[in-house]
Structures are given as structure tokens and as C-alpha cells.
Amino acid sequence: MLLTADTVLTGRQSLRPGWIDIADAVILGVGSGAPPAPPALALGAVTVAPGLVDTHVHGGAGADFFTADPAGTAEAVALHRSHGTTTLVASLVTAGPAELLQQVRALAGDVRLGVLDGIHLEGPWLSPQRSGAHQTALMRDPDPAEIDALLVAGEGAIRMVTIAPELPGALAAIEQFTAAGVVVAIGHTEATYAQTRAAIDAGATVGTHLFNAMRPIDRREPGPAVALLEDPRVTVELIADGVHIDFAIYRMVTKNAGVDRVSLITDAMAATGVADGRYYLGPLAVDVTAGVARVAGTDTIAGSTATMDQVLRNAVAASGVPLDEALPIAVAQSSCNPAQALGLPAAAGLAVGAPADLVVLDAHLSVTAVLRKGVWVIAPQ
């Protein structure tokens, strides 16, 4: 299938006009100007971009990955696919040892089937002082035996874990996970600047939703955010939903960390794509009002109800630069950067040999078509 469009954003460069040649779920060629042959599909005045990559999402369409129910998982994934997310890593909140093992085994099956692209363990190795929407009673210090059991249960499906570096045994756990090929993120933490630096030196390479559930910056104790921001080895997540951070933070982080070190995420929970009401994030009740999710009876934000296309549009609108400059940046931060941080195939964007995952955007940056592994999830009209 050879397709053309007025604009093709590969994730690394802009092609106007551009073309993409696809066969057997793989990109065979991509270029600018006239295509090498008559196209099978001329998309016209649209933007074609790499499929969006969400490496931090808890559910959607009323379903929570915490339940590890295959039908619910499929519904949540379908909801996010319809919004342009072609690569999705399921995030799990803190659970007890036996339950966590069961969840990992179940979701690993979905990874093998290609429904999910990995698992992110956002807990249980977190700081009770920065618990967010996690159950503090189930939090615990890293234990090598439990980690080994989880790695065996995951059979390679665990892509990322979040750890608070100040916990006893945290540095050894970081080394244990990285030795197994798992990306370690720092988050839900009360760590000092020095403790965060030590965790990065031990192998941590991601900052979990920067500034949220994290010790704030102080003039005498910079804390984890500064350590994560200033280290070129680290990719920092931002929840650009308009609730978790002010958009001035997005601009500041992009400017200071650099375009290539920012990973936009949704942190979406079960209420994404459905009506306001009572939902659950793991074992905790969550009330959603006007699209904002909070732990029931508190002011604590409990994930988001955003989708990746919304996050992309928010980043463009908040960038403070012209569309032609803002859109390629937001596309990279919503596709190649998160994939690269976790070593996923989508890191290449729209490039020869890469998976045939793409999204078609109209002039308002709304999703009009989605291709995943060479198959139309939403076909062009």
C-alpha cells in the first residue's frame, strides 16, 4: 500500500508533501515529493504521523487493567486505539504480592497476543508520603525474591517499573531490574537530590509523571525533579491533560530538558471515554466530576481521563510557538520519545523497517484514521 498526504511527520522530520510505502505491516519506504508510483491511497490535506505511544495508562472505557480481565482490557485498548494510540503499555497500581503476580501473569498473556505492548509496574515500591492514588497499606520495600518472581511471571512483558529511590534496597532493585532489561523510572518519591542522582547512576532512566507525587523543589534541597531534569540520560514523563500540571511547566520542561527527553503520557484511568461518576483505580474508589478524577472524599488527583490525541493537541496549543514548529515537537513527544525510552519498536517513527503504525490528523488535529501493524483500526473516509 502506497499512500500520500500533504504532510507526513515521521517523528524526526517533516515531509511536505510526503509518501509512505507499506507491506506486510512494515514500512518499506518513506519520502517527500512525488511518490515512486501511483498511490493506492491519496489522503490529501491531512497530516500523517506515527501512531501515538502511551507508556503510562491504567485503563479506559470503564475498565481498569488492575482487574486483568481480558474483556475489559480489550475494551480499554480499543478506546485508546480509536484515539490514535497504536502502542500501549498497561500500568498497574500498588497491589499485594499474590495479586500483583496474578495480574502480571494475566497481562503478560495480552502482551503475547499483541493486545498490549508491555506492562508498567507503578508500585508497590513507592513512598507512602507521596502515595497519590495508591493504597499505602500495600506499599513495601523492594525484595529481591519478589522481583525475581515477578520477572519470571512476566516472561519479558514487564517493560518498566517505578521505584522511590529512598526506600531500603531501592538501588539494588534498580540494578536487578535493569540487568533483566526492564526500564526503571523514579516516581512517587520523597527522595533528595542526592538520592535521585544515586538512582540514576544505578540505572534509572525515566521520571514518572514529573512534579506529580514527587517532593517539590526547594531552594536548599532541589529534590528529584531537578536531578531528573538536568541529567541527559533521563526521559521525563509529563501528563499534559491541563489538570496535573500548568502548561507553563510543559513549556519550561521542553525548553530545559530538550525536545527529545520529554515523554507525553495520559495516566488515563477507567473513566476515560465514559461519563462522570464513581470508578476504581486499583482498589481505591475514584470520583470523576467534569472529567477530573480524584480519590473519593479527597482532593487527590487519581490519574486522568485524557487520551493521547487530547494530550497532543494540548501540547501544540500550549507550546507558544507556531503550529509548523509545535506539531512536530508534540508528535515526537507523543510517539518516538516514549517508545525510545522503553526500547519499543515504535521508537523509529515512520521509517524504513519500522512497524506500519500511523495516525491521520485533520486540520484541527482530530484523529480521522488509524493504522496499526498495517491494518486500519479506523479506515480513512
- For the chain, domains (ranges, CATH) are 2-49+349-378 (2.30.40.10), 52-346 (3.20.20.140)
- Quick one: pLDDT at residue 329? 97
Cα–Cα dist 120/91, whole Å: 4
* Type and span of the H or E element at 186: strand 183-186
Has 267 been annotated as catalytic? yes
Looking at 267, 276, 287, 299, which residue is catalytic? 267
The answer to the question of whether 212 is labelled as a binding residue is yes
**Alpha-carbon torsion 361, 364, 368, 370, what sign?**
positive
Q: Return the H-helix or E-strand segment holding 5.
A: strand 2-5
Instruction: Tell me how far apart the alpha carbons of residues 267 and 102 are, in angstroms, rounded to a whole number.
Output: 22
The model's pTM = 0.96
133 is in an annotated binding site: yes
Q: Is residue 122 marked as binding?
A: yes
Read off the C-alpha cell for 240: 499534559
Distance of CA 50 to the CA centre of its chain: 14
302 annotated binding-site participant = yes
Residues in the chain: 381
Q: Identity (one letter) of the amino acid at 132?
A: G
- Cβ–Cβ under 8 Å, residues 314 and 254: no
- The answer on whether 197 is annotated among ligand-binding residues is no
Residue with cell 500483583: 100
Specify whether the CB–CB gap between 238 and 264 falls below 8 A.
Answer: yes
Would you state the cell numbers that stand for residue 336, as one nine-digit string? 518516538
Mean pLDDT split into 10-residue runs, the chain, 381 residues: 97 94 97 96 98 98 95 97 98 97 98 98 97 95 98 98 98 98 98 98 98 96 98 98 96 96 98 97 95 95 97 97 96 98 96 98 98 97 86
Q: All 3 cell numbers of residue 43?
A: 489522503
209 is in an annotated binding site: yes
The answer to whether the annotation marks 175 as part of a ligand binding site is: no
